[in-house]
Amino acid sequence: MSCWKPASSGTRDFRTTTETRTRRIRPRRPDSPEAVRGGTASDPSTSTDSVLQNLYHGFRVLPLVSKAIYIGLFVIVLLTILSPLTFLAGVVSIAVSTIVSVVRALNHRPWGRWAVIAAIAVLPTLAAGSIANTLYGIPFSGSNAQLSTEEQRYVNQVGEIQEAMKQRLDANARILNKYPSIPPLEREQVYDHYFSEVDLKKMAEEKVKVPPGCGEHYENWLEDMDKATATLYASVTLLDTTLTTKAPRDHTSSNELRRDTDTSFEESDQLLYKIRRQGCER
C-alpha cells in the first residue's frame, strides 16, 4: 500500500514560490552564458576582444596556402613601412655574416653557411634601400643620375645664388642683434645687402638657364627669392625705425618673414637635391 499523498494546493503554491525566489537570488557563475552576456554589455572592451577572436578563429580555419599568402603580404607591408630599419638591419646582417665567414675561414672552420646568409641578405637590403629612398627620400641605395650639361649648370647656378642670399640674411640677423651698439660700418652693410648692385634676384632671372623639366622648380625658387628679398627690405626698415625713433625693436614681422623664407629655402633645397640625384625629367 502506497503512503504517497497528493500535496495540497497551498503546499504546491508555497514550493513554487520558494523555488522561484531561490532561482532569482542564486548568484550566476562567472563562466555561465548569462554572466558572459552580462559582461559583454557592461564592458566596452569585450566587443573589441570578440572581434579579434572572430578574426583569429576565421584565420585559423583558412587553408594553409591562404594563411601563407596573408602572412607574406603582412610581412611585405610591414617591411615596406619600416624600410629604413630593414635596410639597416640588412647591412648589419651582411657585415656580421661576412666577418664571421672570414674569421671561420681563417680558423679552418666551416664558413659556407654564413657566406650564404650574407649573399641572401644582399637582395632584401638593396630593395629596402630603394624603397626607403623612394618613400622617405633617404639616399640608402642607388647612384646619382647622370645629369646633362644644362642640368648641372642649372643646379650649380641656383645653389650658388641661394647660398649668397642666405649669407646676406644671416649677416643682417647678426648685425641687428647688436642693437643698440651697432657700428656704423655694419649699419651700411645692412643697406648694401638690399641696395647692392649685385641684385641676386635679377641675376637669377638673367643668367640662370632653365633646362627642360626644371621649369616648375625654377618658378617656385623665384618665389622663394622674392621672399628673401622682402626679408632684406624688412631688415632695412627695422634698422631705420630703431635708429631714428630710438624705439624698442619689434622683430615680429621681420622674424616671421625670415622663418617663412627659411622654410621655403629648405623645400627648395629638397627639390634641388632631388634634381641632383634624378635630373629634371626623371
Confidence of residue 96 (pLDDT cuts 50, 70, 90): very high
Q: How far apart are CA 204 and CA 225, in angstroms?
A: 9
How confident is the prediction for the chain on average, in pLDDT? 75
Does the pLDDT of residue 35 top 70, yes or no? no
Does the pLDDT of residue 2 top 70, yes or no? no
Q: How far apart are CA 235 and CA 130, in angstroms?
A: 44
More confident call, 14 vs 168: 168
Does the pLDDT of residue 99 top 90, yes or no? yes
Q: How far apart are CA 222 and CA 179, in angstroms?
A: 32
Task: Scan for cell 603580404, then name that residue.
Answer: 73
**pLDDT tens digit string along 125-167?**
888 887 777 776 555 544 555 677 888 888 888 888 888 888 8
Residues in Cβ contact with 181 at an 8 Å cutoff, skipping those fewer than 6 apart = none
pLDDT of residue 229: 84
**Element containing residue 173 per DSSP (H, E):** helix 149-176
Task: From 203, 228, 193, 208, select the one nearest 272 (Cα to Cα).
Answer: 208
**pLDDT tens digit string along 50-60?**
887 888 788 78
Least confident among 6-10, 47-51, 63-67: 6-10
Burial of 71-94, coded b for 16+ CB within 10 Å and e otherwise, reads: eeeeeeeebeeebbebbbbbeebb
Least confident among 17-21, 156-160, 179-183, 214-218: 17-21
Does the pLDDT of residue 61 top 80, yes or no? yes
